[in-house]
Amino acid sequence: MISLLQKSSAAICLRGFNDHELQQASNFLSGRGHRVVRSLNAAQCVVAGPEAEPSLLDQSRARGLEVVAWDAIREALRDEGLMAGLMTSGGSAPLQKCPVESLLCRDGGVWRMMDRPLPPAPGVADCDRKYIPQAGRFAGLCFDQPFVETLQAVLTGVWHSMPVALEGETAASKTTAVLYLAHLINQPVIRLNLNGQTDAGELVGRHVPTNQGWRFQEGALPQSMRCGHWLLLDEMNLAEPQVLERLNCALEHPPTLVLSEGDGAVFGPGGDVEVSENFRLLATLNPAEYSGRSILSPAFRNRWLIWHQAHAPDEAAILAMLRTLVLGEQPVVCWKGKSYRAEAVCPLFPQLQEIPELDAVLARFAMFHSTVAKAAHTPGQTPGLARQRRERHTFTRRNLIATLQLCAANSQSEPRQSLGDAIRQIYIDRYPDPADRKAIQAHLRAADLA
């Protein structure tokens, strides 16, 4: 358990503390890059104070959490000389021995992201520059633990020329991770949104009419192989399996392709067209349990050598994002035993810094969003909202940004009232059932935002 607390950005729930000790323990853990959450559902571990109830252990185990006594933490770290005087003098010794390093830095002329160098920037033709993701789309991007892990999975696949599939719930920043890495190295990306109507012609090519008759027009796949683009297949498992199987040869190493739909041109070693060394295949997909998703064959899935599970943000990550949007600060993350932090950014909503007791308000908003998101849609469980509706709402980072945007725009109102009005418009008004509205109001009260 001590090793868990030594990690960055652990979500820790404190129980059994009086007000004074709670504040000290919270300040200590928050100051070392951890997130103190109020809900057991959002916690990775529980720290039990001297007044913890005996039932705490059973409740936490039922949720798959470990419990550690605050006294045990103090004693263990005192033995290492890290926490002398804590809870009496307030303590200022760090929980982590290693310093916090820059997440993105330049090392001898080479850009590095944590422990890995970035690929060199490719030579890009002028006509392809329009496919390079621009910096503006990443304003306010939060480099929290789940996003950084997804980013590293993409970087691993790109560096080793392996196909990358990112599977996860809606708004787990799967697509953003691919586009952000491409932005860093000025890499063109062809983004193709797949659906049930996607056919092989969209991927490989089809004959189209011209003034001179019919001609074969290459699809996104041969175009990317020829020009060295990354081909990003968004919502991959919405397409029919027989369409996706057309990608199999391009997923091999080295990638190949025969344009049997056209003139029979062969892409790959010894063929008519040399495949660019910069070509990569990447995909995002939601779990198969989502409505309308296809079941992918084991052979097809196996060809995606990097298959990463992108985690949706928990309460701690939601709070980190809110602090990035309002304050511009970035959270501390852990990678291979080291701590990293991205550079601070210009906040998108600096005017909200005037909200009284801002830290507490953001923490309450994060708690509210997290609990409502789980009540609206928890995979494999009956949701607590909209039980009678076939279509259920999903609450993601987009809702957070929209709420802050409305709150910031309503500068005439008292900040707390402005936030309440924005939450009503974004979260409550979308539900027609009075019972659902009442349930969300209960979540608001539980988060002390009502």
pLDDT tens track for 370-420: 889 888 865 444 456 876 666 778 888 899 999 999 999 986 778 778 888
**DSSP-based three-state secondary structure for 316:** helix
Contacts of 414 (CB under 8 A, 6+ apart): none
Token look-up 């009678």 returns 388
Contacts of 286 (CB under 8 A, 6+ apart): 167, 168, 169, 170, 235, 237, 293
pLDDT of residue 318: 92
Number of H helices, E strands in the chain: 15, 19
For residue 338, name the pLDDT band (cuts at 50, 70, 90): confident
pLDDT of residue 76: 60
pLDDT of residue 168: 93
For residue 1, name the pLDDT band (cuts at 50, 70, 90): very low
**pLDDT score of 218 more than 50:** yes
DSSP letters for 33-79:
T-EEES-GGG-SEEEE-TT--THHHHHHHHTT-EEEEHHHHHHHHHH
pLDDT of residue 245: 93
Angular region, 328: left φ>0, alpha ψ -120 to 50, beta rest: left
Q: Positive or negative CA dihedral for 324, 155, 307, 145?
A: negative
Fold of 2-79: Rossmann fold (3.40.50)
CATH 3.40.50.300 domain position(s) in the chain: 101-310
Q: What is the mean pLDDT of residues 323-331?
A: 95
DSSP H/E element including 190? strand 189-193
Q: What is the mean pLDDT of residues 141-155?
A: 95
pLDDT of residue 160: 96
Mean pLDDT (the chain) is: 86
**pLDDT score of 212 more than 50:** yes
Q: Residue 441 to residues 99, 289, 315, 359, 437: CA-CA distances in angstroms?
A: 43, 29, 19, 22, 6
Q: Which among 141, 145, 235 has a CA at the least distance from the CA of 183?
A: 141
pLDDT of residue 51: 79
Pair 86, 51: CB distance under 8 Å: no
pLDDT of residue 165: 98
Token look-up 């035993």 returns 337
pLDDT of residue 191: 97
pLDDT of residue 424: 93
Q: What is the mean pLDDT of residues 33-54?
A: 81
Condensed to tens digits (0 to 9), the pLDDT of residues 274-303 reads: 999 999 999 999 988 887 888 999 999 999
DSSP H/E element including 192? strand 189-193
Q: What single-letter DSSP state applies at residue 404?
A: H
For residue 450, name the pLDDT band (cuts at 50, 70, 90): confident
Fold of 101-310: Rossmann fold (3.40.50)
Pair 403, 422: CB distance under 8 Å: yes
Q: Give the integer Cα–Cα distance in Å for 66 and 69.
A: 10
Q: Give the integer Cα–Cα distance in Å for 338 and 331.
A: 14
Condensed to tens digits (0 to 9), the pLDDT of residues 71-119 reads: 777 666 554 444 433 433 333 333 344 588 999 998 777 889 998 999 9
Q: Give the integer Cα–Cα distance in Å for 416 and 353.
A: 12
**Side-chain-facing half-sphere of 148: CA atoms under 13 Å:** 26
**pLDDT score of 350 more than 80:** yes
The CA-CA-CA angle for residues 167, 11, 338, to 5°, reads 80
Q: In this structure, what is the dihedral angle of CA atoms 12, 173, 240, 264, given to the nearest 10 degrees?
A: -140
Q: Which among 375, 308, 319, 321 has a CA at the least distance from the CA of 168?
A: 308
Q: Give the integer Cα–Cα distance in Å for 370 and 396.
A: 9
Omega of the bond prior to 254 within 30 degrees of 0, cis? yes
Q: Give the integer Cα–Cα distance in Å for 420 and 397.
A: 18
pLDDT of residue 37: 83
pLDDT of residue 31: 66
Percent of the chain with pLDDT over 90: 51
Residue 300, token pair as written in the block:
């097809």
* Residue 326 identity (one-letter amino acid): V
The DSSP bridge partners found for residue 167 are 285, 309
Exposed/middle/buried for residue 132 (C-beta within 10 Å: 0-12, 13-18, 19+): middle
Residue 84, token pair as written in the block:
């002398």
Contacts of 51 (CB under 8 A, 6+ apart): 16, 17, 18
Percent of the chain with pLDDT over 70: 89
Pair 220, 279: CB distance under 8 Å: no
CATH 3.40.50.10190 domain position(s) in the chain: 2-79
